[in-house]
Amino acid sequence: MKLTATFDEFLTETVNLNATRVAQLQDSIEALQSVLTTSTWVDRIRGFAAQGSWAHKTIIKPVPGDPFDADLLVFVNPESEWGASDYVDDLYSMFRGLASYKDKVHRSSHCVTVDYAGERKIDIAPCVFERLYAETYEVCNRDLDEFEISRPLEYTQWLIDKNSTVGGNGLRKVTRLVKYLRDIKTNFTCPSFLLTTMLGSRVWDGDAQSDAFTDVPTGLKTLIGRLDDWLKSNPSLPVIRNPVLYEEIQSDVWDDTKYENFRDKINLYRGWIDDAYSEADRSESIGKWQRVFGDEFAAGEVTEKAVAVAESAVAPFRGNPLFTGIRDLVDLVKRIGGAGLPQGFDTLPHMRRPRWRAVSGATLRVVVSAQLYSAREGQPLGAVTSLTALSPDRWLKFDARNHLGLPFPENFAVWWRVTNTDQVARQANALRGDFYKSDRGHERWERLAYRGVHLVEAFVVRKSDQTLLGKSAPFYVTIE
């Protein structure tokens, strides 16, 4: 399911840099430009331009604890006696000489960075105009004391043209989503400029007349699919050039290992995105999109669904004299058993979807059993079956075996998805729904805590290649 409105909200509330930070960034850049145009640099400055994600309008919120940043180019006339490092060093010295900036600046290979107390930072990079010949721009490599040809304005225009081709700011929005995916997963490495080039290069002239970018989720599916196809056609690290500067090989920032990992992860996420997009059930689709983008996607709707599902099951019975005294789903299940569980109860959106690649063909049959204990490792109180009403403050020990009652081999891991529902768990901020390792062997201990009907499932994963071999039916835990 596309969930177009949900994606729009997700971009606005979670992914995009919020208006307050944008205003702070703009104010800081204007202040820096004012400093530069009233400094010893004033006579050599020809102008300014945004660079990077700030210029490309693909800037996103940083992960918690990290500053957000922007790149500012300072176009300057050449100084006949200066080498490349002199531009960066002199710019740094100028800012160090100002009381309001001296403790905020540091320099790196190509720029001077102004750091605003870890909240935001701005990289100021000198770009020398027409040092060699007309209409040439060069950035300054301080480390090597070398000038490097650059075409920042042409690159920005290339992206503007690609974005215009798809319409609706589709390329920018998809790029932000993929950057967000990279930042929250932290399991592949790809600098923003390289990621932007690869995504922009997957936009074709014919897209202006196609349905490939009718909305954000469709555009995401299109570009990740095309990127995956291209990566699969290049089993080893290809040469990826700056589309407006042939001699600049952007892929030099990668090695074979980083490329292979990126290739594998894009293939994995492509499968997840296609699965979420094609899923017809809304709750299941939300859960699958959360597998891609994490808990913040549709967070409000997910929480409400986890609570409302119990009420929706009870509502049809209210007012029926045969069901007097039915207060909630616990009472209903105690009265009529599993027939009281509503449709979709085992596919609630806050339940994490499996992150392992599923085995092709037949899967293992997995059976879960449970024993009741007075405490963890305490006195055994007997076996219990799914849906049995239990008192709180006791413990269940779950065990996963095959359909013959035999334990799984040591090279198989059992992961447990534990999902709580209803009001009490929500009020305790304990809806869970995540995967947990076995405590010992293929066993899992869980304390009985919150009134409601909850779910425990076992997933068997082959350790050697992290392949999902099979899963159990839900074991329903009813707590009075």
Which pLDDT belongs to residue 47? Answer: 96
Which pLDDT belongs to residue 187? Answer: 96
Which pLDDT belongs to residue 391? Answer: 97
Q: How confident is the model at residue 64 (pLDDT cuts 50, 70, 90)?
A: confident
Mean pLDDT of 360-378: 94
Mean pLDDT of 415-425: 97
Please state, in angstroms and rounded to a whole number, the distance separating the CA atoms of residues 418 and 468. 17
**Is residue 319 scored above 90 in pLDDT?**
no
Q: Which residue, among 331, 298, 286, 288, has the nearest Cα to 313 in the 3D structure?
A: 331
Please state, in angstroms and rounded to a whole number, the distance separating the CA atoms of residues 262 and 234. 12
Which pLDDT belongs to residue 361? Answer: 85
Mean pLDDT of 315-322: 87
Q: How confident is the model at residue 323 (pLDDT cuts 50, 70, 90)?
A: confident
Please state, in angstroms and rounded to a whole number, the distance separating the CA atoms of residues 314 and 477. 18
Mean pLDDT of 25-46: 95
Q: What is the pTM of this model?
A: 0.91
Q: Which residue has the tokens 């292979």?
A: 260
**Is residue 118 scored above 80 in pLDDT?**
no
Please state, in angstroms and rounded to a whole number, the distance separating the CA atoms of residues 447 and 84. 65
Which pLDDT belongs to residue 311? Answer: 87
Mean pLDDT of 91-102: 95
On the 0-12 / 13-18 / 19+ scale of CB atoms within 10 A, 255 is exposed
Mean pLDDT of 334-348: 94
pLDDT mean across residues, the chain: 95
On the 0-12 / 13-18 / 19+ scale of CB atoms within 10 A, 127 is buried
At what angle are helices 299-314 and 282-293 packed, to 10 degrees? 150
Which amino acid is located at 430 in the chain?
A
Which pLDDT belongs to residue 452? Answer: 97
**Is residue 338 scored above 90 in pLDDT?**
yes
Which pLDDT belongs to residue 151? Answer: 96
Mean pLDDT of 325-336: 94
Mean pLDDT of 258-266: 98
Mean pLDDT of 431-445: 96
DSSP three-state, residue 257: helix
Which pLDDT belongs to residue 63? Answer: 86
Which pLDDT belongs to residue 429? Answer: 95
191 DSSP assignment: -
Fold for domain 17-150?
Beta Polymerase; domain 2 (3.30.460)
Which pLDDT belongs to residue 320? Answer: 87
Mean pLDDT of 19-27: 91
130 DSSP assignment: S
CA distances, 475 to each of 188, 346, 425 (Å): 36, 10, 18
**Is residue 458 scored above 80 in pLDDT?**
yes
Which amino acid is located at 142 in the chain?
R
Which region among 59-73, 195-209, 238-252 has the lowest average model confidence (pLDDT)?
A: 59-73
Cβ proximity of 60 and 183 under 8 Å = yes
Domain with CATH 3.30.460.90 in the chain: 17-150
**Is residue 65 scored above 90 in pLDDT?**
no
